[in-house]
Amino acid sequence: MATPPSQQEESLGTLVAQATEQISALVRSEIELAKAELKFDAKRVGTAAGLFGAAAFMAHLCLILASFAIAYALVALGVWQWAAFALVTLLYLLVAGVLVLIGVRRLKGLTGMRRTTRTLKSLRGGSDAAAVTSGTEEQVKP
């Protein structure tokens, strides 16, 4: 004959159900946090890629449209023709290099998924658990 479940067994089942719900909520929260951080970083990567594209476009246009005019202006000032064209080429390579450096600096400012990584470490028993639960973590910028 089956005996009715005791109060202790019922509370154990309730605890397991609650733990399952809390784990599900935690996983959903971590996924949302990761999405927010990646979205913010994706915008910065897009901006940096735009700067790289602008650098290439400017270098190309300048070499095609302005190189001849500037080189012949230098020739008119008395510079040898080969030297005038070499100077123009070096000038535009310098401009393109500066634009690439600006793009690289923009990429170095990416933050990654610091909060997500920190909370995952705390779940594994890392030392950052107090920092995560204290509510002092930085906000993800939109």
Q: For the full predicted model, state whether its pTM sits above 0.75.
A: no
Please write the tens of the pLDDT for every residue from 40-55: 778 888 889 999 999 9
In a domain, 86, yes or no: yes
In a domain, 142, yes or no: no
Please write the tens of the pLDDT for every residue from 83-140: 999 998 898 889 899 999 999 998 887 777 788 888 888 888 755 444 444 444 455 4
In a domain, 138, yes or no: no
In a domain, 141, yes or no: no
**Joined tokens for residue 114:** 């610091």
In a domain, 67, yes or no: yes
Q: Which DSSP state fits 138?
A: P
Find the angle CA(6)-CA(8)-CA(10) to the nearest 5 degrees: 70
**Joined tokens for residue 21:** 């719900």
Q: What is the CA radius of gyration of the chain?
A: 30
In a domain, 62, yes or no: yes
* Of residues 121, 118, 122, 107, the one with CA closest to residue 140: 118
Q: If pLDDT is split at 50, 70 and 90, which confidence band does 10 have?
A: low
In a domain, 1, yes or no: no
In a domain, 57, yes or no: yes
Q: How many domains does the chain have?
A: 1
Q: Which domain holds residue 65?
A: 8-132
